[in-house]
Amino acid sequence: MRFFCGIVFQVRILSSDIKKHVGKTVKIQGWLHKKRKLGGLNFINVRDRRGLTQVLIEDKDEVEKLRGMQIGTVLTIEGTAADDDRAPGGAEIHGPKLTVEVPVTEEPPIEIDKPIDHKPENLDTLFEYRTIGLRNLQETAIFKVQSTVTKSIRDYFYKNEFTEIHTPKLLAAATEGGAEVFKLDYFGKESTLAQSPQFYKQMMVGVFERVFEIAPVYRAEPSATTRHMTEYTSIDGEMGFIDMNDLKSFLSGLLNYVVDEVWNEHETELKRWNTTKPVLPKEIPTISMEEIHEKYSKANKENSVGEPDLRPDEERWICEYAKKNLGSEAVFVSDWPASDMKFYHKAQADNPKLADRVDLLFRGIEITTGSMRENDYEVVLKQLKDKAGVDPKDPGFKYFLQAMQAGMPPHGGFGMGLERLTEKIVGLKNVKEATLFPRDINRLAP
Amino acid sequence: MRFFCGIVFQVRILSSDIKKHVGKTVKIQGWLHKKRKLGGLNFINVRDRRGLTQVLIEDKDEVEKLRGMQIGTVLTIEGTAADDDRAPGGAEIHGPKLTVEVPVTEEPPIEIDKPIDHKPENLDTLFEYRTIGLRNLQETAIFKVQSTVTKSIRDYFYKNEFTEIHTPKLLAAATEGGAEVFKLDYFGKESTLAQSPQFYKQMMVGVFERVFEIAPVYRAEPSATTRHMTEYTSIDGEMGFIDMNDLKSFLSGLLNYVVDEVWNEHETELKRWNTTKPVLPKEIPTISMEEIHEKYSKANKENSVGEPDLRPDEERWICEYAKKNLGSEAVFVSDWPASDMKFYHKAQADNPKLADRVDLLFRGIEITTGSMRENDYEVVLKQLKDKAGVDPKDPGFKYFLQAMQAGMPPHGGFGMGLERLTEKIVGLKNVKEATLFPRDINRLAP
């Protein structure tokens, strides 16, 4: 309460605190979320940032104030907090005095108080009315979880002495990718949008040793799939003076930490999606690609042995296998062929035909690729030429090579899509469902 | 230490921990940062993520290993930790065995072990060799501070129950600004890069009540100044169910929190820049624009009375005034003319000729504008037409208006450039000095 010139102003009480004020007069503020009649009694639910408050309205004049008022109407309500086990949070408001702060007279164009079915044919409507549909608590839940995913990932980086960096997304030239790059006019010159902070984070290992960035990246992906978007939030980490075991330990710890934090904070939200807490051992198990091919081929009467990549069905199968047999819903896939390596990747020291790389699969899909980077300047030059077909004098690589020549320790890192991780944690089927305002070839608004 | 098959591997010890291991054999890893001879003795400094370790090399064979090795050479060193008050951290390494992990034979193109003078004519060289020059501890300091600025701002948002959001930077149309917008081809359609998340954060108040985002924004600023860049990191916050006093309290608390956290964490780094801890009262004082004009005109024999904006010199002067007379290095400027309001701003309830807005000046410059937003749908429509000259049927405003019509509480917020805030905290003179890889009309690399 604020005291001013002898007048007592009620301070706003939030939904989850009503129970603490039972028997007292409280003021609440929020959005009309639901109106209903139950046995001749008028109830409304009021939504605030923490959830819902149930209000029982008996006075006819008060009921009258809500005539024609639709969901979304902004209300201030003063009334008495009362115990009621059937109300959200175990308490409700009785004898309310209502003030309509902002009337809403149009019905919402999308369901607000019942879950929206996320079947594929509904998604376009979901995104078209996103600014209002997100008020549905089922939708809000996804992004409350996502906020904590991001927070806990940063916590984990900080605990491990990473410095946060902000690298530019406006670049002079496309470097990593080929065709899938957005181009723009930059005062008469051509500029491209960053597809990843790969080179910057490697260069910054030479400065800070351990760096991370969580920021948007852009891919001019010309197809609309359940797995790709043209803009997403990339979680990038890079560390110096490590080896692959350190990187795997780091990623194991990271995923465990995120899952624990999210389940601690958001059991209510996760229950809305009937999702279970992922089973993860302290160290996520590693299986080589060849072993996966063999196991999969044996169990499924298929033959993937010798293939240089995993089939999507193999990714799903090995995750099921690991869940049943290794007590882990995540698995590292090791021993990728060096022939498919990016030029900045490093081959294994004792077997140069294999890349020093792991893919982390989680609940049926790859959520990140972790790799050791080549830190020998001469080898980087050679791989740039051999693997990327780039002349080392290409100005697009000037600064990266400058840094590589200035002394780079053994280093490695990973990049992970925030939206895909959120999708898997919540148990969704399309990465766009875990994106506030998704972007693909067909969608550039809202 | 890791034990494996009876062999004892030394675990790497970091520079700041050497003192704890005095008398023991330790292993350190890092970059050769400096070589020097002192009274016939060879010393080197080795840099790791925490700072420097001094190593005394007496053995001639060990000295020989460093012949031709330049700054940046990656080293592993095993030796005995020994007390020495003259060494950084109060301890150094004696009797070292050196391993050159990655030799560097080229001299660095920019000073690494002495401070680089940031005078304007040096900045271009500073940025050209950024990837290496950042290894200079004077430069590193700026970005260690910046990492903590960002972290502490997020902490403050979390403490106040904000949800972090990620809004798209690829937009269908320019909305807020006019000419200063980057355009790109989006699969045959025109797209623009976001100049701010303004509309998204307001729309998301209707969902989460309190939201924040820290992400890049883009301005096609066609001039090279000390205050502007084409890409910067924008710290955006927006809150529902608040008034201007709440917003000012929030910003006062935020700036105090950041300054305290940064000084707790980074006294060493801040000392490198001879900067002092800003004096800030718990609640930053507010002075109206007209009062500033009057005070300034009186003290400087100028006449700014009645002007609709502050002169840059007035901004500096009032900050000096507030520091001397009000014990505050920051000041809120209130009572801006409503005639200059953006269409989404709100006029003061009791004086519609004035905007419900404050600018926060800090150490001579505006670091943020905070304002209450118009939340009455009909007034938004009118202001959009009158102030922005936009037809409410313009598709660029469709979703924003959709959200405004769905019930928006009183709300307000602010946007702040991370780099400018860092600049002022560290005591730099150009916002680009506080940017890892600055972008302006002349610079798009590295």
What is the 3 state secondary structure string of chain A? CEEECCEEECCECCHHHHHHHCCCEEEEEEEEEEEEEECCEEEEEEEECCEEEEEEECCHHHHHHCCCCCCCCEEEEEEEEEECCCCHHHEEEEEEEEEEEECCCCCCCCCCCCCCCCCHHHHHHHHHCHHHHCCCHHHHHHHHHHHHHHHHHHHHHHHCCCEECCCCCEECCCCCCCCCCCEEEECCEEEEECCCCHHHHHHHHHHHCEEEEEEEEECCCCCCCCCCCCEEEEEEEEEECCCHHHHHHHHHHHHHHHHHHHHHHCHHHHHCCCCCCCCCCCCCCEEEHHHHHHHHHHHHCCCCCCCCCCCHHHHHHHHHHHHHHCCCCEEEEECEEHHHCCCCECEECCEEEEECEEEEEECCEEEEEEEEECCCHHHHHHHHHHHHCCCCCCHHHHHHHHHHHCCCCCEEEEEEEHHHHHHHHHCCCCHHHHCCCCCECCECCC
Per residue in A176-204, pLDDT (tens digit) is: 556 799 999 999 999 999 999 999 999 99
Structure ipTM:
0.96
Tell me which chain B residue has its CA closest to the CA of residue A205: B49
Give the minimum alpha-carbon distance from B438 to chain A in angstroms, rounded to a whole number: 8
Residues in chain B closer than 8 A to A16 (CB atoms): none
Q: What does the pLDDT read at residue B2?
A: 44
Task: Provide the pLDDT for residue A417.
Answer: 98
- Spell out the residues 6+ positions from residue B276 whose beta carbon is closer than 8 angstroms to its own: none
B240 CB neighbours in chain A (<8 A) are 49
A28, A44, A125, A170: which to substitute to probe chain B, counting the most B Cβ within 10 Å?
A: A170
Q: What percent of chain A has pLDDT over 90?
A: 93
Residue B106: closest C-alpha in chain A: A406
- Across the interface, whether the CB atoms of B12 and A241 are under 8 A apart is answered yes
Inspect the interface and report whether the beta carbons of A131 and B399 lie closer than 8 Å. yes
Domains, chain B, with CATH or none: 2-102 (2.40.50.140), 132-434 (3.30.930.10)
- pLDDT tens for A159-169 read 999 999 999 99
In the predicted model, residues of chain B with pLDDT beneath 50 are 1-7
> Which residues from B are below 8 Å from A100, CB to CB?
none
Chain B contact probe: residue of A14, A132, A228, A243 with most B CBs at under 10 A = A132
Q: Which residues make beta-bridge pairs with A78?
A: A27, A97
What is the predicted pLDDT for the residue at B5?
A: 45
Chain B residues with beta carbon closer than 8 angstroms to that of A104: 405-407
Contact B187 A441 (CB under 8 A): yes
| Closest residue on chain A to B107 (Cα) | A406
Share of chain A above pLDDT 70, in %: 97
Partners of B398 on chain A (C-beta within 8 Å) are: 445-446
The confidence score (pLDDT) of residue B177 equals 57
Distance, in angstroms, between A426 CA and closest chain B CA?
17
Interchain contact, A102 vs B407, CB within 8 Å = yes
Average pLDDT score over residue span A222-236:
95
CB contact under 8 A, A230 and B108: no
B310 Cα to chain A: minimum distance (Å)? 31
Minimum Cα–Cα distance from B409: chain A residue: A74
Chains A and B: how many Cβ contacts under 8 Å? 248
Whether residues A220 and B131 touch (CB distance < 8 A) is answered with: no
Q: Which of A157, A184, A195, A211 to mutate to test the interface with B (most CBs of B within 10 A)?
A: A184
pLDDT category of residue A40 using cuts at 50, 70 and 90: confident
Give how far Cα A331 sits from Cα of A347, A363, B213, B318, Å. Answer: 21, 9, 32, 60
Q: Nearest CA of chain A to the CA of B132: how many Å? A: 6
Are A101 and B409 in contact (CB < 8 Å)? yes
So what's the pLDDT on residue A6?
A: 46
User: Which of A372, A416, A436, A440 should one mutate to test binding to chain B, selecting the residue with the greatest count of B CBs within 10 A?
Assistant: A436
User: What is the nearest CA distance from B143 to chain A, expressed in angstroms?
Assistant: 8
Mean pLDDT of chain A: 95
**Candidates B170, B183, B436; nearest CB to A166:** B436
pLDDT at position A10 is 75
pLDDT at A304 over 50: yes
Q: Label residue A121 by pLDDT band (50, 70, 90).
A: very high
* pLDDT(A4) > 70: no
CB contact (8 A) between residue B439 and residue A170: yes
Is this structure's pTM higher than 0.90? yes
Across the interface, whether the CB atoms of A444 and B191 are under 8 A apart is answered: yes
Contact A204 B436 (CB under 8 A): yes
Q: Do B407 and A74 touch (CB under 8 A)?
A: yes
Determine the pLDDT at residue A412: 98
Q: For A231-269, how does the pLDDT look when each residue is reduced to its tens digit (9 = 90+)?
A: 999 999 999 999 999 999 999 999 999 999 999 999 999
- Residue B263: the pLDDT is 98
